[in-house]
Amino acid sequence: MNRSVPAWLARLAPIVSLALFAPWVAEYLVGSHTVVDLPLIVFLVPLYGGGALLVRELARRTGRGWPTILLLGLAYGVIEAGLIDQSLFNPSYQGQDFQSIAHVPGLSMSAFWGMVFIAGHAIWSIGAPIAFVESFLGARRHAPWTNGFGLALVALLYLLGCWLVFADLRSTEGFQASPLQLGAAAVTAVALIVAAFAVQRRAAPVRVTPSRLVAAPHATGRLWPPHWGVVLGLSFVASLVLWIPGTWLGVACSAVLLGGATVLALRWSRSRRWSPVHVLAIADGALLTYAVNGFNLHPWRRLPHRAEVLSDVTFAVVTVALVALSLWWQRRRWQRMTAARSLHGLG
C-alpha cells in the first residue's frame, strides 16, 4: 500500500504553511498580537501571507535567489509602511510618536523607525518565513509552488490585503500622507524592485553527488562559513538591531550591523561548504530574536499583565520547538547525504 503524501497535498502544504507562518511571525511572535487574537490571523493572511508568497514565487520562478528575495522584501516593507499603513509618515500612528527621533526634514519621518519598519519587514515578514518553510522541502526548496494562474491568485490576495489594511487604517487613523511622501515611497519601492530583478540569476543548482561531498570538506579559501551554530548566534546578534537606541548614531550602527551581516552571509554562501543548514540557521536566529522581543512589546489590545506574559511565553516555547524541529530535520537530511558519501567512498 502506497503511504506517500498525495501530490495535491504536497503542492498545497508549503503554500498554506507560508501564508500562515508569515503573519504569525510578523504580528504575533513580535508581540503585537497575543494568543487571544489568533482567530484574527485570517485577516492578516492576505497582506503578509500573500506578500511573502508573491515575493517568493517571483524570485523562484525567475531563477533568482536570496539577493532578489531580500530586495523584494525591502520593497514590500516600503510599500506597507509608506503606502499602505503609512506608519512611516503618520506622526501619531496607533498613538505612538514615531517621528521625534532621527527626524528627516521634508519627508517628516524618522530615519530610525523607517529602518526598523522596512528592514523588519524584509527580514521577519518575508525572509525568515520563506527560509523556514523552504527548509522542509529538500531539493524542491528552489522550485516554484504555483503555475501562472496560481501566481495571479496570490497577487490578487496580496492586493486584497493591501486594500483591507489601507481602508481600515484610513478610517481609524484619519491620516493621509502628502503627495511628496507617497511619491518618495513609490519611487523607492520601484527602484528596489528593479534592483531585485537586475541581480544576476541564481546559478543552476549544482547536483550534489557523493564525490562533491567528499571534496567539500577539503575545500580551501577564506570564504569558509563557520559551524551552523555560530551562524545562528551571529544572526541572533545581528537581529538585535531592534534594541539599538533610537538616535542617528543608532541608525548608523544598525546600518553597519545589518549591512555587514548581509555581506558576510553572501560571501559565505559562495563556499562549497555553505549548506541549507546555514541558511536555516540565519532564519532561526532571527526568529529567536523576535521571540525575545515579544516580551518587550505591548500588544495592540491591552491585556492583564499575567495574560500578556503567558502569551509571550507560549509563543517563545513554540518558537524554540519550531527552531529545534527545523534544525533536526535539516541536519538529518544532510547526514543522509553524508552517509551516501561514505558509501561511495567504500565503493
Q: Rounded to whole angstroms, how far apart are CA atoms 31 and 291? A: 8
The pLDDT, as a whole number, for residue 140 is: 82
Residue 30: C-alpha distances to residues 73, 119, 257, 292 (Å): 18, 14, 20, 8
Tell me what pLDDT residue 6 has.
Answer: 79
Give the dihedral sign, CA 328/330/334/339. positive
Cβ-count burial 45-68 (b if 16+ within 10 Å, e if not):
bbbbbbbbbbbbbbbbeeebbbbb
How far is it, in rounded angstroms, from Cα 189 to Cα 177? 16
Closest by CA position to 184, among listed 75, 76, 82 = 82
Confidence (pLDDT) at 342: 54
CA distance 217 to 193: 37
Q: What pLDDT score was predicted for residue 270? A: 86
What is the pLDDT, as a whole number, of residue 338? Answer: 61
3-state helix, strand, coil in the chain (%, to 5): 75, 0, 25
What pTM was computed for the model?
0.89
Given a contact cutoff of 8 angstroms between Cβ atoms, the answer to whether 122 and 76 are in contact is yes
Q: Are 161 and 47 in contact (CB under 8 A)?
A: yes
pLDDT tens for the chain, 347 residues: list them: 445 667 777 789 999 999 999 999 999 999 999 999 999 999 999 999 999 999 999 999 999 999 999 999 999 999 999 999 999 999 888 777 888 888 898 888 999 999 989 999 999 999 999 999 999 987 788 999 999 999 999 999 999 999 999 998 888 888 899 999 999 999 999 999 999 999 877 654 444 443 443 334 434 445 688 999 999 999 998 888 767 888 898 889 888 888 899 999 988 988 888 889 999 999 999 999 999 988 988 888 888 889 899 999 999 999 999 999 999 988 888 777 666 555 555 44
Q: Is the dihedral of CA 291, 295, 300, 302 positive or negative?
A: positive
Cell output for 81: 509602511
Burial 198-229 (b: 16+ CB within 10 A, else e): ebeebeeeeebebeebeeeeeeeeeeebeebe
